[in-house]
A and B are shown apart, each in its own frame.
Chain A
């Protein structure tokens, strides 16, 4: 149980375009979803936390107008990178947790974004 999927696994887009990444909890209801960014050989940087039905909480330094997060249902959250630039190229990972006390985060497999 506790499977989280991400789609696409890999995407290449041109500068100036937008790209949407989906994160789905397949077998549980995710009241909270998290979006991380990971640079090569570095730890995960939390970008934002989203709770179903409410606005996402962004970490300091993360542009909310550039990284649009929607958590419209208990099984789906999306991250849209708008007007992508090459410096946005990275590995984006989502995670989800349920409302159960002490719930750990379950991670998606990640999305490799390359902006050309």
Chain B
């Protein structure tokens, strides 16, 4: 079974400061990892993914995530937060060997304070 944990329901950060949204995962094999963002009453938008290769993955809107196999983590980061980054962020995992079912975390609400 695969699972994703986002330990923080909400993260508050001041505009211009760096932000981190945490995610840890569990899969039986090698993971595919994803980050999505959701704005109110909207579907999810893809930010970035890790399949293989460089542990630091760069994605949309200046976001990046670092894959850490030993800690089974895939934290989302951005060097300088914008007010427009305020949204709900979902981490997701899929087993490389399994079929395409993706498991989502419970989501972390990011609030960027002006």
Closest to A38 in B: B38
Q: Does B90 count as interface, using CB distance less than 8 angstroms? A: yes
Contact residues of A between 78 and 116, Cβ < 8 Å to B = 91, 93, 95, 97, 102-110, 112
Q: How many angstroms between the C-alpha atoms of A104 and B34 in the bound complex?
A: 8
Q: How many angstroms between the C-alpha atoms of A48 and B104 in the bound complex?
A: 14
Select B42's contact among A44, A95, A109, beta carbons within 8 Å.
A109
Select B43's contact among A102, A103, A104, A108, beta carbons within 8 Å.
A108
Q: How many angstroms between the C-alpha atoms of A102 and B96 in the bound complex?
A: 8
Say yes or no: A43-B41 contact (C-beta < 8 A), given A102-B51, A104-B34: no
- Which residues of chain B have C-beta atoms less than 8 A from A97's C-beta? 100
Closest to A106 in B: B46
Q: How many angstroms between the C-alpha atoms of A34 and B32 in the bound complex?
A: 17
In which size bucket is the chain B interface?
20 to 34
| Residue of B32, B45, B51, B104 with most chain A CB atoms under a 10 A cut-off | B104
- Which residues of chain A have C-beta atoms less than 8 A from B101's C-beta? 46, 49
A42 touches B106 (CB 8 A): yes
What is the size, in residues, of chain A's interface with B at 8 Å between Cβ atoms?
Answer: 23
Q: How many angstroms between the C-alpha atoms of A95 and B52 in the bound complex?
A: 23
B46 touches A112 (CB 8 A): no
A110 touches B43 (CB 8 A): yes
Say how far A18's CB is from chain B's closest CB, in angstroms: 23
Q: Does A6 count as interface, using CB distance less than 8 angstroms? A: yes
Select B107's contact among A43, A102, A108, beta carbons within 8 Å.
A43
Closest to B45 in A: A107
Q: Does A32 count as interface, using CB distance less than 8 angstroms? A: yes
A93 touches B43 (CB 8 A): yes
- Which residues of chain B have C-beta atoms less than 8 A from A44's C-beta? 44, 90, 104
- Which residues of chain B have C-beta atoms less than 8 A from A91's C-beta? 41
Say yes or no: A107-B43 contact (C-beta < 8 A), given A43-B90, A44-B90, A102-B32: yes
Further contacts, 10 of them, CB under 8 A, given A34-B102, A44-B104, A106-B46: A4-B43, A42-B106, A49-B100, A93-B43, A102-B32, A104-B34, A105-B100, A108-B43, A110-B41, A110-B42
